[in-house]
Amino acid sequence: MKILCVGGAGYIGSFVARGLHSKGYQVEVLDNLSSGHRAALFTEIKLHHIDYGEVSEEFLSGFNYFILLAGKIRVDESMDNPWLYWHENVFKLANFLDKIPQDSVVIYSSSAAVYKPKNHPLKESDYLGPSSVYGATKAAAESLIEHLALDKNKIRAICLRYFNAAGASADGKFGEDHSPETHLIPLLCKFALGQTERFVIFGDDWETADGTCVRDFIHVEDLAAAHILALEFLKKSDARFEVINLGAGTGFSVKQVISELETILQRKLKIEVSAKRPGDVPFLVADIQKAKDLLNWSPSFTLSDILKSALQFHKSKPTGYPDFDS
Ligand code: UFG
């Protein structure tokens, strides 16, 4: 197995690459460092500082397993600049997949953003209907991969639909560092640590038990472990194409997350409330039976573990990773 982790210097990608390296797999990273960080990788992991839209067929011929985590991830940005999202997440991906060797194995990082969440928990077979351009590009990428796997017989692939990835390594050395940060848990932790002045809940009048949105938070270490199991599954089986949800299988509201953090800190936080954020949906909770059955995977970290590790990361790296390369 010669594995190329594309977007492997990003938040989730770096956990996957370090996880593979620690288990003795032969893994290299390709990343343009537009949002990834060299410091998020061990120095022993070879990093190719190239955009995934610009690699040559010859370079790609050196690998037979590809974990694809590159691309743009912000819902709000995708609504402001749809073309950028189609270009980065779909056109570049199609071009990349065209160049990889016949019979490659692909693990693709998809998102819960592909669903139209009418019910919960959400099953892989549930109705798709992205509410953002970001979600639409992830759904299109899944279709592209499905076609290459089932009609063209070029690749075998698994699309992993992440729910809300969060948390950091237990020692606080590796964690979430986006610029700008838009995600709930890092923003809450930074506020609790006094690194930012305000924290605002986007709407408390949703049709949920306490009026705030419910999300399924999955520890990034659990996500990384699922990628390795997905690779092993495709190595051992002759499966051609699967789509698998990755979440904890349990929902917590924004207010419940705040309350859990207050319990850890043993103090109350002064939280503000504003209007709803465009593009949000009230519930996003995964049915994770398929991941359990097919990959023999189940999450091992709790929301409290996620929050404690994230606090530790933001405490030790108040300004994030040193960006000596980007
Ligand atoms: N939230 C706040 N205040 C903040 C930030 C977030 O109240 O300052 C709320 C949001 O309104 C939402 C919840 O916290 O209800 C979670 O928001 P995040 O931005 O952390 O995550 P999302 O659920 O919006 O997005 C995640 C991924 C996306 C993906 C989406 C759907 O980050 O990439 O799930 O799968 F598209």
For the chain, the residue count is: 326
Give the number of the atom of ligand 1 that is nearest the alpha carbon of residue 201. 7
Residue whose C-alpha is closest to residue 17's, from 294, 228, 163, 300: 228
Cβ atoms of residues 313 and 113 within 8 Å:
no
With 80 as the cut, is the pLDDT of residue 286 above it?
yes
Question: Is there an atom of ligand 1 within 6 Å of 166 CB?
Answer: no
What is the residue type of 291?
A
Mean pLDDT of 264-273: 98
> Does the CB atom of residue 187 touch ligand 1 within 6 A?
yes
Dist CA 64 CA 68 (whole Å): 13
How confident is the model over 265-271, as a mean pLDDT? 98
| 128-157 confidence digits (pLDDT tens) | 999 999 999 999 999 999 999 998 999 999
Burial of 57 per CB tally in 10 Å (0-12, 13-18, 19+): exposed
- State if residue 310 touches ligand 1 by the CB under 6 angstroms criterion: no
Give the separation between CA 170 and CA 160, rounded to whole angstroms. 24
List the domains of the chain with CATH numbers: 2-163+219-247 (3.40.50.720)
Cis status of the peptide bond prior to 322, with omega within 30 of 0? no
**Whole-angstrom distance, CA of residue 219 vs CA of residue 302:** 8
115 part of the active site: no
Which ligand 1 atom is at minimum distance from the Cα of 188?
A: 8
Average pLDDT over residues 292-311: 98
- Over 70: is that where the pLDDT of 10 sits? yes
Rounded-to-integer distance, Cα 294 and Cα 47, Å: 31
| From 11, 65, 108, 134, the catalytic residue | 134
Nearest CA to ligand 1 atom 19: 183
Rounded percentage of the chain residues whose pLDDT exceeds 70: 99
Tell me the average pLDDT across 196-208.
97
**Residue 325 in this model has a pLDDT that exceeds 70:** no
Ligand 1, atom 13: closest residue by C-alpha: 184
CA distances (Å), origin 129, targets 48, 79, 86, 114: 35, 15, 16, 6
Report CA(185)–ligand 1 centroid distance (Å).
9
- Cα 115 from chain centroid? 15
| Residues forming beta bridges with residue 68, ordered by sequence position | 6, 108
Beta pairing class for 252-253 and 214-215: antiparallel
* Secondary structure (3-state) at 159: strand
pLDDT, mean of residues 102-127? 95
CB of 215 sitting under 6 A from ligand 1:
yes
Q: How does the average pLDDT of the chain come out, rounded?
A: 96
Contacts of 33 (CB under 8 A, 6+ apart): 9, 49, 325, 326
Is any atom of ligand 1 closer than 6 Å to the C-beta of 75?
yes
Distance CA 91, CA 263 (A): 46
CA 296 from chain centre, in angstroms, equals 20
Ligand 1 centroid distance, CA of 23 (Å):
32
Q: Which residue has the higher pLDDT, 279 or 131?
A: 131
> Is the CB of 73 within 6 Å of ligand 1?
yes
Choose one of 202, 217, 257, 285 to mutate for the ligand 1 pocket test, by most ligand atoms within 8 angstroms of C-beta. Answer: 202
47, pLDDT greater than 70: yes
Q: Is 74 in the pocket of ligand 1 (CB under 6 A)?
A: no
* Atom 11 of ligand 1, nearest CA residue: 202
Mean pLDDT, to the nearest integer, of 234-254?
Answer: 97
Question: How far apart are the CA of 193 and the centre of ligand 1, in A?
Answer: 20
Specify the range with the lowest mean pLDDT, choosing from 71-85, 131-145, 249-263, 311-325: 311-325
Alpha carbon of residue 308 to chain centroid: 19
Are the C-beta atoms of residues 27 and 52 closer than 8 Å to each other? Answer: no
Residue type, 120: H
State the distance from the centre of ligand 1 to the C-alpha of 131, rounded, in angstroms.
13
- Mean pLDDT across 14-28: 98
> How many A from CA of 37 to the centre of ligand 1?
22
**Which residue among 124, 134, 161, 164 is best mutated to probe the pocket of ligand 1, counting the most ligand atoms within 8 A of its Cβ?**
164
The pLDDT tens digits of the residues spanning 55-81 come to 999 999 999 999 999 999 999 999 999
| The pLDDT of residue 324 | 59
Q: Give yes or no for residue 326 having a pLDDT over 60.
A: no
Lowest mean pLDDT among 56-60, 175-179, 294-298, 299-303: 175-179
